[in-house]
Structure 1
Amino acid sequence: MPPVTPPVPASSLAPTDPRHVLQTVFGYAAFRGAQEDIVDHVNAGGDALVLMPTGGGKSLCYQVPAIARHRAGKGVTIVVSPLIALMHDQVGALEELGVHAAFLNSTLEFADVQRIEREMTSGRLVMLYVAPERLTTPRMLAQLDSLNERGLLSLFAIDEAHCVSQWGHDFREDYLALSVLHERYAHVPRIALTATADSHTRADILERLDLGDARVFIASFDRPNIRYRIVEKDEPRRQLLRFVRDEHEGEAGVVYCATRKKVEETAAWLVAEGIDALPYHAGLEAALRQKHQDRFLREDGIVMVATVAFGMGIDKPDVRFVAHLDLPKNIEGYYQETGRAGRDGEPAEAWMAYGLADVVNNRRQIDESPAGEEFKRVQRGKLDALLALAEATDCRRVRLLGYFGEASHPCGNCDNCLDPPATWDGTEAARKLLSCIYRFAQHGRGPRAFGAGHLIDVLRGKKTDKVAQYGHDALSTFGIGAELSETQWRAVLRQLVALGHVVAEGEYNTLALTDGARAVLKGGVEIRLREQHETPRRAKTARAKAGREAPADLDAAAQARFAALKAWRTEVAREHNLPSYIVFSNATLAEMARLAPDTLAALGEVSGVGAKKLEAYGREILRVLEAAA
């Protein structure tokens, strides 16, 4: 996205001006989108709620005012985050920029905790990252009280703010205690940030964090570089393998699974198939989990197979795909997880396989939870919205953005836009299926409800032992659906469950009709269903592949410079024990390769090269560029 305001030279700005901070510390000429309004509002002492997509520049919205306010003598900014990985990466990146930052979490020895606390209480720290449960301990509150009394408590930034809401996709009880910040430090500005929040969740954040007077900034939720693609499950592991091999071989990706067991099995299977895959879930030993995360961040081409315990707070910019082998619980979760892909703005894919079992399992989890009925009602609505997205025959992106209240137009870059699905009038098939479930309940022999397999056997007229045992070959619905295959009937059933006309109940997923089925049976509702097929595989073109290794607009000489810069960056990252993208992003290296600056002054004009990095790496970069010429 291009800057929305022309750059003002840093030399004409005061060091406490946010634009001076942006240029000299971060190396960017101007803010993007709503960043400038947000930063100015918070820097002036205002409260804010910021909704901005992953990769949209949320961190700058609090980091820039934190630095500017520290330079103005206002003291330390406290960043509240539940994500240890984010703390490590953000602090490492800030220190690389010459900004004094630290974190307090469970990975530190007590001596390190004491040292950081001394840095904080002295006011020397610019930013301190803490988990919500630590922030509200008596020890921490006493230290904040001391800072506050001396005028050295500058700003509170509450990241992943959706965690405070019971309506959100990742509620964390520790966040509820953060209301103490307003009660105890009313004059200290607060900025709450999240990438995902529908209207329920936004209202909850404002209420629970006492942000009633805060300005609400809502950026576009659109991630145009991500291609959304949803397929029906048909040997999902094989589908995943084809997807990775045909379109993303050798590229970094994340595969989400619902259970730890499935994570372990899928990772092992991918490794056996020659894919460099690692498992990640909360049940792994902490050291092994950290080792796998470090490999994913620091090495190229790793596929991380994970539960949703992995991903939030992972800033790796070159994740080329996110795949779901199980249906998320709601659109917020889906959006958050797919948002791990393509943070660098380059093309990326969000691929998901889902089937009838996903729908049934997610509905059952809601129905059997101990939560109150109002909460269950809202969660069912959220699941219905996700199912509507999965079954949609129109643009996925329009539906996804519409869920967050954002109007848009067909994107031309999702599976439905690129390969529009055919639909058919499934009204008669739906009535046959619903009638068969109804006949089971009316029949006098055996149970009153049966599962999907038996239902389809009866519809297709298969004389199995079970059909004979219960006399279902005598039903009027026996064999009335012989014209459809088993796969087609499963698709019809899945879509009727998704539409809310059928529900699966109990331990054995027996099928029952809902109140909504009555209108369909009476012929008062038309049912249009999508024809079942997987989107055809698209071989990745040489141009697309090259574009991911190096930008396509670089000529041969610039490509050579880009490769040399990447090799140099890898060595620097290894020496500093940092992910490569924290040293410099691919976009910054590409601009260096394109412009080929031959002086420090010219290099300092490259976007992403701040004063500290110019001082630390400038001469080495010029040497690399000259050697690659």
Structure 2
Amino acid sequence: MAASLEGATETLARVFGFPGFRGRQAQVVARVLSAQSTLAVMPTGAGKSLTYQLPAVLLPGTCVVVSPLIALMHDQLRSAEANGIRAATLTSADGEDYREAAIDRFRAGELDLLYVAPERASQGHFRQLLASSPVSLFAIDEAHCVSEWGHDFRPDYRLLRQLLDRFPEVPRLALTATADAHTRADILAQLGIPEEGLIVAGFDRPNIRYAITPRDNPGRQLAQLLAEKPGPGIVYAQTRAGVERLAASLGKGGRAVLPYHAGLDPAVRARNQAAFVASEDMVMVATVAFGMGIDKPDVRFVAHAGLPKSIEGYYQETGRAGRDGDPAQALMLWGAEDFARARMRLAEVDDARRAGERTRLAALGALVETGGCRRAVLLRHFGESPPEACGNCDNCLNPPPSVDASVTAQKYLSAVARTGQNFGAGYVESVLTGQSTERSMTNGHEGLSVFGIVDGAEAALLKPVGRALMVRGALLPTEHGGLMLGPAARAILKGEEALALVAPPARERSARGRRREGQAANPVGDPLFDALRALRRDIAQEIGVPPYVIFHDSVLRDIAAERPANRAQMGRITGIGARKLEAYGDRFLQVVRDH
């Protein structure tokens, strides 16, 4: 098992084309090479897969990788093979001949990596297979799935301990990007990893710009995002019907837009996913089922058309943007009704998990409500102590004015109470602003003390105040869509708790003339860069892989900037390993010479 970190650095440069380790990669790899079990919590885009792929090349035997999705396994298989790593998958999507060949290669010691799903890994016949050839490492990807406290619990992950304990001499490497302190402790216990094996690399993704705004006209708001942001993007909708509506609407803007959800025919779903993975400008509108299996590095934006299920889910989903390190955007559109639905779902959660889910919902409320740094709220949730301002979120870039809306909140809650806790937000607001209607006259509400007590500038606060009261649980939805007072209402009504509010922003009329962010990162219009991209596209089509498997945009930018004259110069560019230099170097060098 002996392999040095010095030797690992040489292999890192030769196979992967990287001059050195990033972040905590070296610490994780060093533990693996010394046969120490480890839980590595590293942000998406920090190079988690390299921490087991590199040891897999260095150590005798096969690294067995447990991964939750077939699409993710096949994507990582392509990337590994492109670097000359001997790899295979054992999945239900593989043909029988392929599976038999993979098993033969494993038994013959001809595999560095073998990818399997937890459902297969937990079966007795798979344990018997592993006993037939040396195993160098067990890598458990998306390890938060093992914890009932995690946001994406998968019961089959709980069965992995039986497999791991069968091979006590083989080190375990658990990897995740999203685990709070409680979830981390549970992963360590479930997978039998000692506490000293925990490495937390930090959760910050500084290249992602976070923006969160109330949902007004989602079709218009998202169309504006697409107009401003070139490059591939993902838009998450909460329902299948919402996916279809948004895909049809956004597709009218000239960009290629496709839908993805579980209700589509599997062949259509697979075709849409393949088209997105291979694209350089397509937008996928999808439910959250899409994305976990996509290791596409050049996604330039991720948008949520509604509230995510949890702050961990939000972090993971937004983390699918900008994995290549280039600037990316995360936009969330939310409404008070999202929190209302989430609170109703809490009643259906098992008693044991309800408190945790309520805490997650409160964390989302803090994130959308804050007038301070979004990134700071996000990172504090994961136990970090970030600076008060990040300089790359909507609130840091354009600090919103704050207003004390406590009195308006008291008026709003009083109106809900005095009208009988049966009516929706629109009617409550019409009573407060004194709008005489047949309904208000019939109900006798025009004689109430709250009728017409809000006017002028204060009227503009009513909708955000209503949203804020829903977020805090001071207002709750009734069975028939009305509003009633929640447990947090009393303290606000009695003046014991203030309600500070971000002042409603002035609506922007047009985005024309605004410089498109991201164009500096991908210099479209540079003839050499465009020619290199065209060649990459041609090669990708020739061998049937997505363009990013050949080279990332950052590599093409460096080639365009440095204009290497020969293979030796090209091999010094970060991201170009020996296998790729041999396979593609001459063709890219010819493009440079032609320009």
Q: TM-score range by the shorter chain?
A: over 0.9
1:375 matched to 2:348? The reply is: no
Q: Are residues 1:581 and 2:548 paired?
A: yes
Gaps of 5+ in 1: 1-12, 442-447
Deviation at 1:166, TM superposition (A): 1.9
Query: Larger deviation: 195-204 or 619-628?
Result: 619-628
Match of residue 571 from structure 2: 604
Aligned-residue offset at 1:544: 4.2
Query: Structure 1 stretch 271-280 or stretch 30-39: which is displaced more?
Result: 271-280
Q: 1:123 to 1:98 in 2, by over 3 A?
A: same
Paired residue type of 1:61: T
Contact 1:119 1:125 in 2 (8 A): yes
The equivalences for 1:312-331 within 5 A come to 312-331=292-311
Q: Is the 1:45–1:188 Cα contact (8 Å) retained in structure 2?
A: yes
Q: Are residues 1:282 and 2:251 paired?
A: no
Aligned counterparts, 1:246-395, within 5 A? 247-248=228-229, 250-367=230-347, 369-372=348-351, 374-395=352-373
Cα deviations by residue, 1:293-330 (Å, 9 ceiling, x for unpaired): 11111122100000001111312222111111010011
1:548 is paired with a residue whose SS is coil
Query: 2:473 corresponds to which letter in structure 1?
Result: G
Determine the structure 2 residue equivalent to 1:44.
Answer: 34
Match of residue 436 from structure 1: 415
CA–CA separation in structure 2 for the residues paired with 1:208 and 1:23: 35
- What is the match of residue 441 of structure 2? 468
Indicate conservation of the 8 Å contact 2:121/2:163, yes or no. no
Amino acid at match of 1:17: G
Aligned partner of 2:80: which letter? L
Give, in whole Å, the separation in 2 of the partners of 1:484 and 1:512: 25
- 1:461-610 alignment, distance < 5 Å: 461-483=434-456, 488-506=461-479, 508-533=480-505, 536=508, 544=517, 546-550=519-523, 559-610=526-577
For the residues of structure 1 that align with 2:400 and 2:328, how far apart are their CA atoms? 22
Asked whether the equivalents of residues 522 and 557 of structure 2 are also in contact (C-alpha less than 8 Å), the reply is no
Alpha-carbon contact 1:360-1:509 (below 8 Å) kept: no
Contact in 1 for aligned 2:255/2:281 (Cα 8 Å): no
C-alpha spacing 1:535/1:180, structure 2 compared with 1 (3 Å): farther
Looking at structure 2, the residues matched to 540 and 210 of structure 1 have their Cα atoms a distance apart, in angstroms, of: 57
1:54 aligned partner, one-letter code:
T
Which residue of the partner structure matches residue 5 of structure 1?
none
**Residues 344 and 83 of structure 1: CA distance in aligned 2, closer, same or farther (over 3 Å):** same
Query: What secondary structure does 1:78 align onto?
Result: strand
Residue 489 of structure 1: how far off its partner (Å) = 1.7
8 Å contact from structure 2 (residues 32, 55) kept in 1: yes
Pair 1:406 & 2:381 matched:
no
Residue type of the alignment partner of 1:423: S
Q: CA deviation at 1:275?
A: 3.0
Sort the Cα spacing of 1:550 and 1:524 in 2 relative to 1 into closer, same or farther, 3 A.
Answer: same
Q: Look up the match of 2:592.
A: 625
Percent sequence identity over matched residues?
A: 45
2:46 matched to which residue of 1?
56
* Equivalent position of 1:98 in the other structure: 84
**Structure-2 residue corresponding to 1:86:** 72
**Whole-angstrom distance in 2 between the partners of 1:533 and 1:183:** 57
Deviation at 1:539?
5.7
Contact 2:233 2:281 in 1 (8 A): yes
Contact in 2 for aligned 1:15/1:21 (Cα 8 Å): no
Q: Closer, same or farther in 2 for the Cα pair 1:342/1:192, shift >3 Å?
A: same
CA offset at residue 137 of structure 1?
1.9
Residue 61 (structure 1) shift = 0.9
Residues 45-94 of structure 1 show CA distances to partners (whole Å, capped at 9, x for unaligned) of 1111111111111111111111111xxx2x11111111222211211111
Measured in 2, the distance between the counterparts of 1:540 and 1:342 equals 25
Task: Tell me which amino acid in the other structure corresponds to 2:358.
Answer: R
Displacement of 1:176 in angstroms is 1.2
Q: Are 1:161 and 2:143 an aligned pair?
A: yes
Separation in structure 2 between the aligned mates of residue 251 and residue 532 of structure 1, nearest angstrom: 30
AA matched with 1:36? A
Q: How far, CA to CA, are the matches of 1:413 and 1:540 in structure 2? A: 22
Q: How does 1:185-204 map to 2 (within 5 A)?
A: 185-204=167-186
Q: Deviations over 1:117-174 (max 9, x none)?
A: 1212222111011111111122212212333xxxx01111111111112222211112
Bigger Cα displacement from structure 2, 256-265 vs 98-107:
98-107
Q: Distance in 2 between matches of 1:540 and 1:415?
A: 20
SS at match of 1:193: strand
> 3-state SS of the aligned residue for 1:123?
coil
- The Cα shift of 1:535 comes to 7.1
- Equivalent in the alignment of 1:234: 216
Q: 1:545 to 1:161 in 2, by over 3 A?
A: closer
SS of residue matched to 1:17: helix
What does residue 432 of structure 2 align with? Answer: 459
Check conservation: 2:422, 2:478, Cα contact below 8 A. Answer: no
Does residue 122 of the first structure (1) align with residue 94 of the second (2)? no
* Length, aligned pairs only: 591
Q: Which moved more, 1:611-620 or 1:579-588?
A: 611-620
- Paired with 1:560 and 1:522, the residues of 2 have a C-alpha distance of 67
Deviations 1:403-424 (A, max 9, x none): 1112222111211111111121
List per-residue Cα deviations over 1:490-524 (Å, max 9, x = no partner).
22111011122222232x23322233221211122
Q: What residue in structure 2 maps to residue 3 of structure 1?
A: none
Distance (Å, rounded) in 2 between the aligned partners of 1:529 and 1:107 = 51
Q: Distance in 2 between matches of 1:340 and 1:486?
A: 39
Question: Kindly tell me: are residues 540 and 81 of structure 1, through their superposed partners in 2, closer, same or farther at Cα, counting changes over 3 Å?
Answer: farther
Q: Give yes or no for contact 2:307–2:334 (8 Å, CA) kept in 1.
A: yes
Question: Structure 2 regions of 5+ residues with no counterpart?
Answer: none
2:136 match: secondary structure: strand
| 1:214–1:280 distance in 2 versus 1, CA, 3 Å | farther
TM-aligned CA distance change 1:275 to 1:486, over 3 Å? farther
Offset at residue 16 of structure 1 (A)? 9.3
Q: In angstroms, what is the RMSD of aligned CA positions?
A: 2.2
Distance 1:465 1:105, change over 3 A: farther
Structure 1 letter corresponding to 2:20: A
Q: What secondary structure, in the 3-state scheme, does the structure 2 residue paired with 1:488 have? A: helix
Relative distance call for 1:275 and 1:19 in structure 2 (3 A) is same
1:132 matched to 2:86? The reply is no
Tell me the TM-score normalized by structure 1. 0.90
Worse-superposed segment, 466-475 or 292-301: 466-475
Alpha carbons of structure 1 residues 514 and 541: separation in structure 2 relative to 1, 3 Å: closer
Compute the displacement of 1:391 (Å): 1.1
Deviations along 1:154-197, whole A, 9 cap, x unmatched?
A: 11111111111222221111211112133222221111111111
Distance of 2:498 and 2:531 partners within structure 1: 61
- Which of 129, 142, 155 does residue 143 from structure 1 map onto? 129
Match of 2:197 among 209, 212, 215: 215
- Where 1:18 maps in the other structure, the secondary structure is helix
2:7 matched to 1:24? Answer: no
